[in-house]
Amino acid sequence: MKKGNGIKRSIEKRFLKYVKFDTKSDSSSKTFPSSVGQKRFAEYLVSELKKIGAKVERDKHYYVVGEIPPNVRKSKTIGFLAHMDTSPDFSGKGVKPVVHRNYSGGTIWISRNKNISISPENCPPLSSRRGEDIITASGDTLLGADDKAGIAIIMTFAEYLLKNPDIPRPRIKIAFTPDEEIGKGIDFFDVKKFGADFAYTLDGDVEGTVEDETFNADLLRIKICGKSVHPGTAKNSLANASRIAADIAASWPENMLPETTEGREGFIMFTSIKTSIEEGKMEAIVREHDFVKFEKLKKHIVAIINEKRLKYPLAKIEYSFKTQYRNMRCVIDKNPVVMKKLFVALEKAGIKAVLKPVRGGTDGARLSYMGLPCPNIFTGGYNYHGPYEWVSLDGMEKAFNVVLNLAVEWTR
């Protein structure tokens, strides 16, 4: 495989094939992985890793783990990870990728029939992508660059190393994980068996962005037991769970929502509200980078719930918080070499680093707290989890260059 245009074509070919696998995860599923499509995709990736000559295994949880042996002495073992599933927020079935060659600026129409388009006006990061090849879906689905772009980059990197044994490299471990989008991606992952000293997820967005911190994250569940009586005789005897749920959601401050916050500002977002008069079930995600502020967010919503308990004494309102992940910055700061090597790799690729917090989470957040420091690297995409999603092939190629530089840098 020749570097240059050959790399870009190889990444493109893989990516266009990968996105056609329907790997949408399902938070209501009792299985792991949560969808059959992820199992099918995992099996395909196993066969591809075998084909390029990597050592590979797939365990009963459908973690796909590959290995490339070192060709230098006394080096660390470095891991690269990406996730196989796509977001449950939008359809991933029947993805029809469209390549928009040599983007000249202005509007890219994803679907004229549905009036779906992207432009520098509604998506500012697109303004710096002139001359690049941009891939979108066709408007009926998301694209799946989150995180099949990461998988395509890692797979192309693995193939390139195996075809170019003169390039110095440490022991490389590769992992493709299920169900990251529903917060379960590392539930059964064996960090000790994986055997990496440090690792990187390829699960970021536009060119140059690297991330060493995430939100602290909890899942909030609220259950409301109402009291149903005939509305004609309801005075002082009805407790309508539907109304109570609406009241709780409406009581959360407007300036603490995802659509009104940015940067390191936290939020609570109600993701599911299912109610009848007798019963209500609510789910919300709680997010904040600073742990003290995170605890204040939780206390604020508890105060609202307690207020509703007083307001609706005939109802029973219960709540619980479930830990999802914690800010990985605390772990990575104790292992500065992992970011130092990344900055060197970016510089050698001629890419200006843009260090920012993840307004979300990655598998790397949980891996970091399991003993594997794991910052996040860009893949060249944006607008994930919906029909406006896009990815730059040129950005993917640049991420490949960063990963290749990292492999060499970890032999020094």
What single letter denotes the amino acid at residue 302? V
Is residue 309 within 8 Å of 271, Cβ to Cβ?
no
How far apart CA 55 and CA 232 sit, in angstroms, is: 71
| Burial (CB count <10 Å: 0-12, 13-18, 19+), residue 162 | middle
- Whether the Cβ atoms of residue 139 and residue 404 lie closer than 8 Å to each other: no
Q: Cα(204)–Cα(358) distance, rounded to whole angstroms? A: 8
3-state secondary structure of 158: helix
Helices 145-163 and 5-18, packing angle to 10 deg: 130
pLDDT of residue 362: 84
Helices (H), 312-392: 329-332, 337-348, 363-369
pLDDT computed for residue 183 by the predictor: 86
Q: What is the structure's pLDDT at 5?
A: 73
pLDDT digits (tens, 9 = 90+) for 194-227: 999 999 999 999 999 999 999 999 999 999 999 9
> Residue 359 has what pLDDT?
87
Question: Which one of the listed residues 12, 133, 179, 180 is annotated catalytic?
Answer: 180
Instruction: Point out the catalytic residue in the list 22, 67, 85, 394.
Output: 85
Tokens 């599911």, residue located: 272
For 239, which DSSP code?
B
Q: In order of start, what are the domains of the chain with their CATH numbers? A: 5-214+327-409 (3.40.630.10), 216-324 (3.30.70.360)
H helices of 190-321, in order, are 191-194, 241-251, 291-311
User: What's the pLDDT at 3?
Assistant: 60
- Catalytic, 179? Answer no
> Does 85 qualify as catalytic in the annotation?
yes
pTM of the model: 0.88
d(CA 247, CA 231): 19
Which is it for strands 316-325 and 134-136: parallel, antiparallel or unpaired? unpaired
- Non-local CB neighbours of 350 within 8 Å, separated by 6+ positions: none
Q: Is the dihedral of CA 394, 352, 160, 41 positive or negative?
A: negative
**Cβ count near 192 (within 10 Å):** 8
Report angle CA 190, 196, 198 to the nearest 5 degrees.
120
Under-70 pLDDT residues of the chain: 1-4
Q: How many distinct helices (H) and strands (E) make up the chain? A: 10, 18
Q: What are phi and psi of 178, to 5 degrees?
A: -90, 165
Is residue 150 helix, strand or coil?
A: helix
- Cβ proximity of 64 and 176 under 8 Å: yes
Sign of CA dihedral 2, 4, 9, 15: positive
Judge contact between 367 and 326, C-beta under 8 A: no
Query: Percent of the chain, pLDDT > 90?
Result: 95
Amino acid identity, position 396 = M
Burial (CB count <10 Å: 0-12, 13-18, 19+), residue 168:
middle
In angstroms, the Cα distances linking 63 to 51, 156, 157 are 18, 19, 19
pLDDT value for 1 = 47
